[in-house]
């Protein structure tokens, strides 16, 4: 190599052969050299390297801190509702369901109701159904444990496993108790000795309820639903069976198994969720819906509370669905029902969800009703002829 060539090589090394090479030398992030490339040490800016390294370390620390904080928050939220099964003493069975049983028990000295769900380890439920049950349980706990209102059943705690939970058994087992499947779970809530609203109404089927009791129960339910809606929660299964009573007959909303946070886009909430007879037309028809489906169900419950009767007792699912959606079928309001209450029923079960009132308006309408002059459903054995056409106002 002659002097001229040596000089050119030196100049290229000094000034940089290309802009790309210079860029590669100046920045840490973009520096990429192959094994055949020689780099002069005096051309490397080590200060920039230090700056770049510090930035990268800061980003890594920030990501790690954020990840740890997220995990800590998740654990903290879970620990808020996880119960100590050693403090839970199961006593007696209250009710049975398809995939679970409700027991009465004592937790840390308090009377509680324990809802136990198993995940199909008996072979009845499919893997998909088992997964759906677990998802339903987690959603129920996520909704319930944050609620605090006098007309919503108080959540005590829950457990994703029940390996240490013993159920009293009448069989002659060694220890007199049954163990649940390891993957079962339980929700513990306050025990309400008054039972379900449905049972209360059945017991009063013949004598009916005094009008002030009707309004009191309706107000309890409407205030509870208004609270849920204020928290963007749609219950989706409002019915008398899911309402419980205290010893003083205060009504509390229970069973959040299908409740969910209301979607911003109504089209994200579809599907036939609820119980036949209480389901809004848009739900029965598979259309998008929102919290107004609860308002419709409330209207049916209001009729049920007033009449102490069941809506549509003799219609099949297919007949009822078609009649509600296509023929605007609704329960018949007795003539003895005060017009103010009848008006609320009709507003709540309007076929158009947009025409139904919000629950805070329903609360105001119910609070404005005068109960001093009676107006309850007239018992059949006290009415002359058909109670629906009698002029007498009930108790």
Q: Could you report the per-residue pLDDT of 175-209, keeping only the tens digit for each?
A: 444 555 556 788 899 999 999 999 999 999 999 99
pLDDT tens digits, one per residue of 284-343: 888 888 999 999 999 999 999 999 999 988 888 888 889 999 999 999 999 999 999 999
Kindly give the interhelix angle for 292-307 and 211-230, rounded to the nearest 10 degrees.
170
Instruction: Determine the average pLDDT of the residues in 378-392.
Output: 54
Q: Which of 112-121, 149-158, 222-231 has the least mean pLDDT?
A: 112-121
pLDDT at 226 over 50: yes
pLDDT tens digits, one per residue of 70-108: 444 444 455 678 888 888 888 898 887 655 788 999 998
pLDDT at 3 over 50: no
pLDDT category at 52 given cuts 50, 70, 90 is confident
Q: What is the pLDDT of residue 175?
A: 43
Q: What is the pLDDT of residue 4?
A: 46
Residue 316 in tokens: 């099949």
pLDDT at 388 over 80: no
**Average pLDDT of the chain, as a whole number:** 77
Q: What is the pLDDT of residue 274?
A: 60
Give whichever of 88-97, 159-168, 361-370 has the largest mean pLDDT. Answer: 361-370
Q: What is the pLDDT of residue 16?
A: 47
Q: Would you name the residues annotated as active-site residues?
A: 237
pLDDT tens digits, one per residue of 256-281: 654 444 444 444 333 445 678 899 99
User: Within the chain, how many helices (H) and strands (E) appear?
Assistant: 11, 11
Q: What is the pLDDT of residue 144?
A: 80
Higher per-residue pLDDT: 8 or 157: 157
Q: What is the pLDDT of residue 267?
A: 41
Q: How far is CA 264 from the centre of its chain?
A: 15
Reported as half-sphere exposure (CB side, CA atoms, 13 A), residue 115 has a value of 21
Spell out a b/e string for 86-120, using b for 16 or more CB atoms within 10 Å of the CB, else e. Answer: eebebeeebeeeebbbbbebebeeeebbbbbbbbb
Q: What is the pLDDT of residue 218?
A: 98
pLDDT category at 173 given cuts 50, 70, 90 is very low
Instruction: Determine the average pLDDT of the residues in 348-371.
Output: 97
**Going from the N-terminus, what domains does the chain have, and what CATH number goes with each?**
82-191 (3.30.200.20), 192-395 (1.10.510.10)
pLDDT at 253 over 50: yes
The Cα 117–Cα 81 span in angstroms is 17
Higher per-residue pLDDT: 17 or 282: 282
pLDDT at 21 over 50: no
């Amino acid at each position: 190599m002659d002097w001229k060539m040596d000089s050119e090589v030196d100049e290229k090394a000094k000034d940089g052969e290309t802009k790309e090479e210079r860029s590669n030398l100046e920045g840490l992030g973009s520096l990429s050299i192959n094994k055949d490339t020689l780099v002069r040490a005096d051309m490397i800016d080590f200060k920039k390297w230090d700056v770049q390294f510090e930035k990268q370390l800061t980003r890594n620390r920030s990501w790690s801190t954020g990840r740890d904080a997220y995990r800590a928050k998740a654990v903290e939220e879970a620990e808020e509702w996880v119960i100590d099964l050693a403090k839970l003493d199961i006593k007696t069975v209250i009710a049975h369901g398809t995939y679970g049983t409700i027991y009465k028990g004592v937790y840390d000295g308090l009377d509680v109701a324990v809802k136990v769900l198993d995940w199909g380890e008996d072979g009845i439920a499919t893997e998909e159904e088992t997964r759906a049950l677990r998802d339903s349980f987690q959603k129920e706990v996520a909704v319930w444990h944050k609620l605090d209102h006098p007309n919503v059943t108080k959540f005590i705690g829950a457990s994703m496993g029940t390996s240490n939970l013993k159920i009293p058994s009448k069989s002659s087992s060694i220890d007199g108790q049954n163990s649940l499947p390891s993957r079962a779970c339980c929700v513990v809530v306050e025990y309400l000795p008054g039972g379900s609203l449905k049972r209360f109404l059945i017991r009063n089927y013949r004598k009916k309820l005094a009008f002030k009791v009707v309004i009191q129960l309706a107000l309890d339910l409407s205030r509870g639903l208004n609270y849920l809606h204020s928290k963007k929660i749609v219950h989706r299964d409002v019915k008398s069976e899911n309402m419980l009573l205290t010893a003083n007959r205060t009504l509390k909303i229970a069973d959040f198994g299908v409740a969910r946070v209301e979607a911003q886009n109504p089209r994200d909430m579809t599907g036939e969720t609820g119980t036949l007879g209480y389901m809004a037309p848009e739900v029965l028809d598979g259309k998008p819906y929102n919290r107004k489906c609860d308002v419709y169900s409330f209207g049916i419950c209001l009729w049920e509370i007033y009449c102490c009767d069941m809506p549509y007792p003799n219609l099949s699912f297919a007949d009822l669905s078609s009649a509600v959606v296509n023929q605007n079928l609704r329960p018949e309001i007795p003539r003895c029902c005060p017009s103010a209450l009848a008006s609320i029923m009709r507003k709540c079960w309007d076929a158009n969800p947009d025409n139904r009132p919000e629950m805070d308006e329903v609360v105001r309408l119910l609070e404005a009703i005068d109960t001093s002059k009676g107006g309850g459903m007239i018992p059949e054995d006290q009415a002359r002829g058909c109670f629906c056409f009698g002029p007498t106002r009930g108790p």
